Amino acid sequence: MASPPPSRLRRLLLTAIAMMLPLVLVGAVAEAVLRFLPVATGLRSQPVNAETPVFRFAANRDFLWSIGPDFAIVNRGRTNNAGYVSDIDYDRDDRRPLLAVIGDSYVEALMVPWRQTLQARLAQAAAPEGRVYAFAASGAPLSQYLVFAAAAVRDYGATHLVIVVVGNDFDESLSTYKHGPGFHLFVPRADGALELHRCDLAPSTLRRLVQQSALARYVIFNLQGNPAAGRLRDLLLGTARASGYVGNVPAGADPARVRLSEAAIDRFLDLLPEMTGLAPERVLLVLDGRRPVLYTPDGLAATEGSYFALMRRSLMTKAAASGFGVLDLELVFAAEHRRTGRRFEFETDAHWSGEGHRVAAEAVMTGELWRAFRASEQTAARN
């Protein structure tokens, strides 16, 4: 087939440029304007491989976090010397007793000033005799908590653990349901056993370039702040989600999903003492409640058969039988709501607000693990 004559090719090129130019101009203006607005910067995930197997972020870096197209929530913070969100640095040589708080985005808590978080409140109460460090990253499931916990003990001498468990921690521990570069996941073997597998992460140059764009960050981070914006973001990114969620996970209790999640719970509880060297009584599992349905008795009753309700009950029963401490925040949040009428998440975001972190911290500090930790502080201080 003959090539188009030069004059026709020139016209096609000019037409394409004319069509693209308005989009380029709009994008350039949007980029310029957004650079003056509190667009979320995100964090900088670091490589995960055989040399650096534990997920972390770029160290000693300020960040800005915001939610929604209208920046309904804005927060500023920093990552510390260890690459985790914290206003305090972590000291490997400090020999004071250490309580490590392990979790995902609820503990990472980008939307809450650090001083209001669960770990900061515990740290303030533990000082000066003891320490509280947090190891957390958005998207981390039960399988990754094992790695965070082991690192907290190995690298910093953690003596006690508080592990916060939320709705998507069960099935997302499995490679069947999650693709998690940077995290450790359970991979089902042919014999049915679950093997803990590291998913390496090598942040690409393209990803780094995209993170430099305020417009790209606005689409990725900010267009998830409310339902309307979330639908627009889902449309743009092709990540539309089905309705019918409880605990921010699909409510349907598919038998295969439940069976594999039960296996993940069993493997998690088996590996936790083995990988950390800590006795079960030195570990407290803190389970989030079914918010917002827990604010009404009818809401709880209507979701008793949901996936999250089943998984919560299973983990609590099995953990208690194995000697682990268990704290059910569903009961705590519901009781506090009846007493004060307060809620514990943001209007535009399901994560705990500062009030939610306060109630969670106070609940931890009324329990047996906290008393044991404080006793170890006093013993260490005397010695």
Q: Please report the DSSP string for 15-73 in residue order.
A: HHHHHHHHHHHHHHHHHHHHTTTT------BPPBSSSS-S--B-SSEEEEEEETTTT-E
pLDDT reading at 27 higher than 70: no
pLDDT in the model for residue 202: 93
CA distance 346 to 91: 33
Overall average pLDDT of the 215-225 stretch:
73
The string of pLDDT tens digits covering residues 42-96 is 899 999 999 999 999 999 999 999 988 888 889 999 999 999 999 999 999 999 9
How far, in Å, CA of 99 to CA of 322, rounded?
A: 21
Q: In this predicted structure, what is the pLDDT of residue 24?
A: 65
Q: What pLDDT shows up at residue 208?
A: 72
Residues 271-330 have pLDDT tens digits of: 999 999 999 999 999 999 999 999 998 999 999 999 999 999 999 999 999 999 999 999
Angle of the 6-34 helix axis to the 214-221 helix axis, nearest 10? 70
pLDDT of residue 273: 98
Please say if the pLDDT value at position 19 is more than 80. no
Bridge partners (DSSP) of residue 74 are 66
CA distance readout (Å), 242 to 106, 185, 246, 248, 255: 23, 24, 12, 11, 18
Find the helix or strand (DSSP H, E) in which 144 lies. helix 142-156
Distance CA(133)–CA(320), nearest Å, equals 25
| pTM of the model as a whole | 0.88
Intra-chain end-to-end CA distance of the chain, in Å: 89
Pairing label, strands 283-287, 158-165: parallel
Q: How many residues does the chain have?
A: 383
The mean of the pLDDT values for the chain is 89
Predicted pLDDT of residue 131? 98
pLDDT at 4 over 80: no
How far apart are alpha carbons 119 and 70 in whole angstroms? 29
Report the distance separating Cα 272 and Cα 270, nearest Å: 6
Domain topology for 88-202+246-382: Rossmann fold (3.40.50)
Task: Using DSSP, state whether 257 is helix, strand or coil.
Answer: helix
